[in-house]
Amino acid sequence: MDVSERFLQTALDGIHDCINIVDKNFRIIFVNEAASKRAGKNWRSLLGNTCYAQLWGKSAPCENCVTRKAFETGKPQQTIKWEISNDGKKHFMEHFVFPIAEKESTVEYTVEIFRDITERKLLEEEREQQRLELGKRIRELRHAYEELKSLQNQLLQAEKMASIGLLASSLAHELDTPLTTISGYCELLAEEIQADHALGRVKTISEQVIKCQKTIRSLLDFSRKSNGERKLCNIHPLINSILSLVEHRLIIHKIKLHTLFDNQVPLIFVDGNQIQQVILNLVNNAVDALPQGGDIYIETRINREAKSVELIFEDNGIGIPREKQKHIFSPFFTTKDPGKGTGLGLSICKNIISAHGGTITLENRAVKGTKFVISLPVSETP
């Protein structure tokens, strides 16, 4: 090795990248210390041997070899890819090839530079993963914020509805006394009036007052705070009491009510006020699902095999989309427009029925509409 070769060898051995020079037959004519260390061989033993055999452990030139492209095109080439070295380890290599042209611009040799950028690649992948994870967390936080905002609005709406309920209860108390007075005077007038046409009018007034009293007293009964006490109840009066409260809604919305009560159903051991709350919620939901009018069907029956009383509430309204059905009993989930529902009604219904040892399920209808089935156990010994 002459002075110039020794100088070149010393200079390139100080470079950490793997450098070697090959001829057209891929034989190594120069290699620096970094490349020989990576091959795990003495640099002298590498000279004169093929690069693909000594450096990459292959029996033929590498597939998509950029060195071959450099010989063919006479232009520098570059590639970055994962490669397996002789030590069996996976490395992410950056491969540069520069042609060395001699006589008549024919490429006789190429300089190969291999840079191991595995650590940089892994760091980039880690940063990319962190970026994706951060983006995911930001999206989750944004979604949680929107949910929290929605829950806040729904809680405000629930509080508003609770205040209206208290106001309605107070108003009912105030109206009950004057209606009782009007009813009493109607009875007195009926005894004094002799003319049939006038007597008929007084009786009509009396009947309407009694109807108002019945509705108000049903409202008062329903608005009383439940003490959690359970007793044997006939389910039909509980249903009818609630229906008297919503009768005006049904008329206004042009909704026909169809009831089919099985008089053979036994008494059930329940908190009547809580069961009425469930009934009212399901009926109101059915009314909301019939903005253009329609039909509501309420049925009671006994399931002797399951030893339970079943209440069926069915309507032919707009129905609930299939993809939303699995969420309907979740707190604060609602299919209604903003401001028209708190999303608590069905969740409360489910909790009440579950506390009574029963079940409430949504069944798919063959046609459009909604069908809820409540099953309450028949208690032999309350």
Identify whether the C-beta of residue 364 lies closer than 8 Å to the C-beta of residue 320: no
Mean pLDDT for 90-96 is: 78
Q: At residue 6, does pLDDT exceed 50?
A: yes
Token match 């070697």: residue?
A: 20
Contacts of 117 (CB under 8 A, 6+ apart): 80, 92, 93, 94
Rg from Cα positions in the chain: 43
Rounded Cα–Cα distance for residues 219 and 243 (Å):
11
Structure tokens at 3: 């002075």
Q: At residue 233, does pLDDT exceed 80?
A: yes
Mean pLDDT for 212-239 is: 74
Q: What would you measure as the largest C-alpha separation in the chain, in angstroms?
A: 145
**Domain residue limits, the chain:** 3-116, 131-224, 228-382
Structure tokens at 295: 């039909």
Token match 């090795």: residue?
A: 1
Task: Calculate the CA dihedral of residues 155, 161, 166, 170 and round it to 10 degrees.
Answer: 160
Token match 């063959």: residue?
A: 366
pLDDT the model gives residue 339? 47
Mean pLDDT for 215-244 is: 76
Mean pLDDT for 137-152 is: 83
For domain 131-224, give its CATH number from 2.60.40, 1.10.357, 2.40.160, 1.10.287: 1.10.287
pLDDT the model gives residue 169? 64
Structure tokens at 221: 């009964």
Contacts of 135 (CB under 8 A, 6+ apart): none
Report residue 377: phi and psi, to 5°.
-70, 145
Q: At residue 77, does pLDDT exceed 90?
A: no
Alpha helices in 32-117 (DSSP H): 33-39, 43-46, 51-54, 66-73
pLDDT per position as a tens digit, 289-312? 888 889 999 999 998 888 899 999
Superfamily of domain 228-382: Histidine kinase-like ATPase, C-terminal domain (3.30.565.10)
Residue 105 DSSP label: G
pTM: 0.47
Most confident of 8-22, 130-144, 165-179, 364-378: 130-144
For domain 3-116, give its CATH number from 2.40.160.20, 3.40.640.10, 3.30.450.20, 3.40.50.2000: 3.30.450.20
Helix, strand, coil percentages (3-state) for the chain, rounded to 5, are: 50, 20, 25
